Amino acid sequence: MRVVADAWRYLADPAHWRGDGGMLDLLLEQLLLTVTALGLAVLLGLPLALWLGHLGRGGVLAVNVSNVGRAVPTFALLALLVTMDHPGTSSFGPYGRAGLATLIALALFALPPVITNAYVAVRGVPPEAQDAATGMGMSGWQRFWRVELPLAAPLVVSGIRLALVQVWATATIAALVAGPGLGRVITDGFYRTDYGKGIAGAVVVALVALVLEGLAALGQRAVTRSSPAAVGAAP
């Protein structure tokens, strides 16, 4: 109980939230890391997965990419990247020390759920809907934009939602290579046996993860309600 009380005192002290290196500053740094890494994963993985799903090919590629991404520990990948001359440990704009290496590691970590859900979503579009679109004279491109993508959107967003929360929680590893984020509070607290500080950092990470999950769930619900499948099922 003493550790919990120490953590509460740390969180309740405004001095720990203000200024450079304060909790608020570190929280914003981790949010920036998370959003950028997720954006890179979506930019790189989503078009490929949607295209393969539309073609009905490349399932083995999509599954293997996902399996490799899940099998390789993110920290191991980060440790490998920081030992290279590039990206290495040099600062990268607002992302701090080893910023580029951290972004690459987190983006690769986000790829599996983005790719898997997008591919499965498009492949799972009912053949009847595809046949109806073809019978209406739609080209393959029109069928994808007007039929397949709207029907697949809820599951696609679900993959992005999953990746968002996972990347946010994993971004704390940046502190292990002296990078930015709330992981610095956690590692510093436990390294100095100031367990209240370490627990305080972990609590903030968990609370923000819940907030992000809630916001992503609202976004997914909005997409699901506006999808043709939901509209067609409405009385």
Parse the chain into domains and list their residue ranges. Answer: 2-228
Residue 231 binned pLDDT confidence (cut-offs 50, 70, 90): very low
Q: Is the pLDDT of residue 234 over 80?
A: no
Work out the angle between the directed axes of helices 23-55 and 195-226 (0-180°, nearest 10): 40
Note the pLDDT of residue 235.
33
Instruction: Determine the average pLDDT of the residues in 28-44.
Output: 96
114 Cβ contact list (under 8 Å, min separation 6) = 41, 42, 45, 46, 49, 159, 160, 163
pTM of the model: 0.90
Note the pLDDT of residue 2.
86
* Alpha-carbon radius of gyration of the chain: 21
How many degrees, rounded to 5, is the angle at CA 91 between CA 200 and CA 115?
75
Note the pLDDT of residue 229.
59
Domain 2-228 has CATH 1.10.3720.10: yes
pLDDT tens-place string over residues 57-99? 777 777 676 666 666 788 889 999 999 988 989 999 999 999 9
Note the pLDDT of residue 69.
66
Q: Is the pLDDT of residue 171 over 90?
A: yes
pLDDT tens-place string over residues 111-154? 989 999 999 999 888 888 888 888 888 887 888 888 899 999 99
**Cα–Cα distance measured from residue 22 to residue 14, given in angstroms and rounded to the nearest whole number:** 9
Among 43, 79, 25, 37, CA closest to 204: 25
10 Cβ contact list (under 8 Å, min separation 6) = 16, 196, 197, 200
Residue 216 binned pLDDT confidence (cut-offs 50, 70, 90): very high
40 Cβ contact list (under 8 Å, min separation 6) = 103, 107, 110
Provide the residue type at 66 as one letter. S
